[in-house]
Amino acid sequence: MQKGSVPVKGRSYRGVKITTADLRAYRWALKSKAVISTKTFCSTSVDRHVAERFAGASHPHADKQSVLIIFNFSQICNTAIDLRRLSHDLPCLSEYENEAEILVLPLSIFQVKSTEENSGKIVIELENIPMQ
């Protein structure tokens, strides 16, 4: 972590549409107690409502389902960047300041803590495993 940068700790949210196969992979990781890693940059928000807008609504016959992913960072995470404030001296870097963006870097490691479906809404909760 850069000197003076603001560490990421807490919770952020990502709203996405995923395939049934991807959803099965999260459920398998939960059941197997396996860890997963991000493959790409993941834009998340500390504002749940922002993420829920991105998830949108699922359509019964669509091949993708709307999912809210909760990213928990119970310890300081060195593989996520708080774009609201890069350091104590630098202001917001995000193009969309009102989205309160946290950028999760590729190869960040998580454990799936739960997958829930209620009234057609799917929520996946992840816990960050800090890199040493």
In 3D space, the residue among 12, 10, 5 whose CA is nearest the CA of residue 85 turns out to be 5
Look-up of token digits 């309160």: 100
Rounded Cα–Cα distance for residues 32 and 99 (Å): 34
Q: Would 2 be classed as within a structural domain?
A: no
pLDDT in tens, 77-130: 988 988 776 656 655 555 555 668 899 999 999 999 999 998 778 999 999 998
Domain range for 114 is 8-128
Number of folded domains that form the chain: 1
pTM: 0.86
Q: Would 3 be classed as within a structural domain?
A: no
pLDDT in tens, 27-81: 999 999 999 999 999 999 999 999 999 888 666 657 888 999 999 999 999 889 8
Provide the CATH number for the domain around residue 118: 3.90.176.10
Give the three-class secondary structure for 86.
coil
Q: Would 105 be classed as within a structural domain?
A: yes
Can you read off the two tokens belonging to residue 60? 């019964």
Q: Would 114 be classed as within a structural domain?
A: yes
Q: Would 1 be classed as within a structural domain?
A: no
